[in-house]
A = this chain, B = another copy of it.
Amino acid sequence: MPIVHKGTVVDNKKVGNYFVLTATAADMPKEFKPGNFVAVAIGDERSSLILRRAFSIYQVNDRGVYGGTVDIVISPHGPGTDYLANLKRNDAINLVGPLGKPFSLPKDPVPCVLVGGGYGAAPLFTLAEALTARGCRVDFILGASTQEKLFGMLEARRISTTLTVTTDDGTSGQMGQVTDALPEVIKKSNAAVIYACGPMKMLEAVANVANMHGIVSQTSVEESMACGIGVCMTCVLPIIGDDGITRMLRSCVDGPAFKGDKVRWDQVGKIPSDTWGAPVEGVN
């Protein structure tokens, strides 16, 4: 069960272009599963920003000196993320979580490739641990536009069989995109599942590669969210159900991870005309 926690910032350090913020979080770590996220309030009741911001949970610790804590990775680029990046030790921070469906884990100890784009890597490290604990081989691919925007290279190296790094500008690893490296990694590792988190375009490309190789992908999407808890219907995208019918599902409670072959990638931001309940005339 998610909780609302009035926490405090334990630490907030700059790492490349990002900030890794540690906050007290009471019982959240106990409830946590890889793939969950938290919704963070931006300021107190004086703030003009009334919507929470969603952040993948990067790490949890339920036995620290501060009791339970969670770590999130912040990419500052707007009013909310800027605010959080500037928080200091002991500042108040209000979190709701853990939220969202966790990643589905394979029943058998099959090889898995984890693909993270930029801060999208954040939820993959606890996932890697869980997979490893099940005996899965884990190979990592981290990509970003440039070196500063890569996240978690050292850690990925530590917990994976292989780590492949790509940057668009070649400042670190191979020049290119994660999907340029993906087929090779799939081949070498004999992957059965691909997990991916990052920009929507990357997820689409990863899902396509997985489909082409006939293997399962789980993509953790990032849709604009107002509530994060499933009550507002802002965070929807077209997902094909087991019955073959496309529905507008909430990424906050039905996701954020969806099977890559179930997302209508080319129709994200639209209502496909065959969607359950779509307007008859096709207007929006």
Tell me the smallest distance from the CB of A269 to a CB of chain B, in Å. Answer: 28
Chain A contributes a number of interface residues (CB within 8 A of B) equal to 8
| A residues adjacent to B (C-beta < 8 A) | 42-43, 46-49, 79, 83
Which residue in chain B gives the minimum CB-CB distance to A83? B46
Tell me the smallest distance from the CB of A173 to a CB of chain B, in Å. Answer: 37
Closest 8 CB pairs of A and B: A48-B48, A46-B48, A46-B49, A46-B47, A46-B79, A47-B48, A43-B46, A46-B83
Could you pull out 10 A-B pairs where Cβ atoms are within 8 angstroms?
Answer: A42-B46, A43-B46, A46-B47, A46-B48, A46-B49, A46-B79, A46-B83, A47-B47, A47-B48, A48-B48
Tell me the smallest distance from the CB of A150 to a CB of chain B, in Å. Answer: 30
Complex CA distance for A43 and B47, rounded to whole angstroms = 9
Measured between beta carbons, the chain B residues less than 8 angstroms from A46 are 42-43, 47-49, 79, 83
Complex CA distance for A147 and B42, rounded to whole angstroms = 39
Tell me the smallest distance from the CB of A44 to a CB of chain B, in Å. Answer: 9
From A43, A46, A47, A79, name the one whose CB has the most chain B CB atoms within 10 angstroms: A46
Measured between beta carbons, the chain B residues less than 8 angstroms from A47 are 46-48
Measured between beta carbons, the chain B residues less than 8 angstroms from A43 are 46
Tell me the smallest distance from the CB of A119 to a CB of chain B, in Å. Answer: 22
